[in-house]
Structure formats: structure tokens, C-alpha cells
């Protein structure tokens, strides 16, 4: 019972850490990366479709993305979706491919992104703490029903706290890496 609860809590915390790290990847750092636009949705024949299903995305230079739609008829829709996103870049279209040139980030914009990333990290920490609370409630319920003893509950709670601390530390390490990446000129 204890092992199942701890394992389930740890798995959910792993997923929370992975989610935070994937959110960090969506914040641009001055370098072009396909992950910045691949989740954009494009209206394609009346349906919302992720850009990664409609086009190939390449990085020919450090500050440029090249989007090559599989269907030439979708070039306009892809360009419109990119233009309406909050990326702050203006796509140029030559009829077959769309080029996105990313200007260098200003110091003010870098600081703004750091605040956004810190907020994402804090949200991740809150999720991990909530998962700890849920696991602790399950353990306390097992103790009340007589499935485990008070000593086993204490050991399990200490292990749960260690697991929680490790996951929060993972989020903090990812935050510091992303922060250094953002502030790098």
C-alpha cells in the first residue's frame, strides 16, 4: 500500500516536472527553435490543425526558421497563424516556404521572459506540493483504517517529503538553466 502510493505520487510528480520543462522550451531565447511554433494551430479547411502536422520546420541559421507546408494551398493559412501568434516575428512568404527571422532579444524582453519562466516554475512547484498533499491524505487514510501503523506512516511521510524535495529541486535546476540561457547575450 505504501509503496503503491509513493510510486504513484512520484510518477505524477515526474509528469509535472516534464510538463514544466516542456513549457520552458516554448519560451524563445533569441535562438530559433522549431518547438517555438510547432504547437501553433492553423485553420486548415475549416479545422484547427497543429502546424507540425501541416509543415516541415527547419533551422537554416541560428536566428531563422524555415516553414515548408506540405500543401501549397495552406501557405497563407500557416502565415496567418504565425502572424497572429504572440511570437513577435513577421513571417515572409515566397509562395512555397515561410521564413521567420528572430531579432535579438532586448534586455527588457529578456527580463520579462525570466519573470514568465519563474511563474511557470512556481506553478510546477505548486502542482508537486499538491500531489504530495494528496499522497499524504491517502497514507493517513490507510493509517486510520488500520492498514498501516503510525511508524510506517512516519517513514512513508519522510520518504514522500524526500521525493517531493527531489522533484522541486529538478524544477529549480531547470529554471536556473533556462534563466541563464535567457540572460545570455
**Most confident of the following: 42-56, 91-105, 129-143:** 129-143
Geometric angle at alpha carbon 137, from 133 and 143, rounded to 5°: 145
pLDDT band at 185 (very low <50, low <70, confident <90, very high): low
CA–CA distance from 151 to each of 9, 143, 164 (Å)? 20, 10, 20
Domains, the chain, in order of start with CATH, read: 2-26+106-183 (1.10.132.20), 34-101 (3.30.1360.40)
Runs of H (alpha helix) within the chain:
2-25, 51-54, 75-84, 107-144, 150-183
Q: Which residue has the higher pLDDT, 76 or 38?
A: 76
Give residue 146's region: left, alpha or beta (phi > 0; psi -120 to 50).
Answer: left
C-alpha cell read off for 46: 475549416
Contact between residue 51 and residue 87 where contact means Cβ atoms under 8 Å apart: no
Q: pTM for the complete prediction?
A: 0.74
* Average pLDDT for the chain: 89
Amino acid at each position: 500500500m505504501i509503496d503503491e502510493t509513493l510510486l504513484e505520487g512520484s510518477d505524477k510528480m515526474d509528469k509535472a516536472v516534464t510538463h514544466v520543462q516542456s513549457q520552458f522550451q516554448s519560451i524563445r531565447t533569441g535562438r530559433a527553435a522549431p518547438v517555438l511554433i510547432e504547437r501553433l494551430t492553423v485553420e486548415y479547411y475549416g479545422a484547427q490543425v497543429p502546424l507540425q502536422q501541416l509543415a516541415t520546420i527547419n533551422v537554416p541559421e541560428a536566428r531563422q526558421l524555415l516553414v515548408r507546408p506540405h500543401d501549397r494551398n495552406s501557405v497563407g493559412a500557416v502565415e496567418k497563424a504565425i502572424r497572429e501568434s504572440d511570437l513577435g516575428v513577421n513571417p515572409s512568404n515566397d509562395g512555397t516556404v515561410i521564413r521567420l527571422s528572430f531579432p535579438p532579444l532586448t534586455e527588457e524582453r529578456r527580463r520579462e521572459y525570466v519573470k514568465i519562466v519563474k511563474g511557470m516554475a512556481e506553478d510546477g512547484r505548486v502542482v508537486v506540493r499538491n500531489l504530495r498533499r494528496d499522497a499524504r491524505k491517502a497514507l493517513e487514510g490507510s493509517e486510520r483504517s488500520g492498514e498501516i501503523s503510525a511508524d510506517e506512516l512516519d517513514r512513508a511521510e519522510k520518504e514522500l517529503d524526500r521525493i517531493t524535495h527531489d522533484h522541486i529541486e529538478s524544477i529549480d535546476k531547470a529554471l536556473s538553466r533556462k534563466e541563464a540561457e535567457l540572460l545570455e547575450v
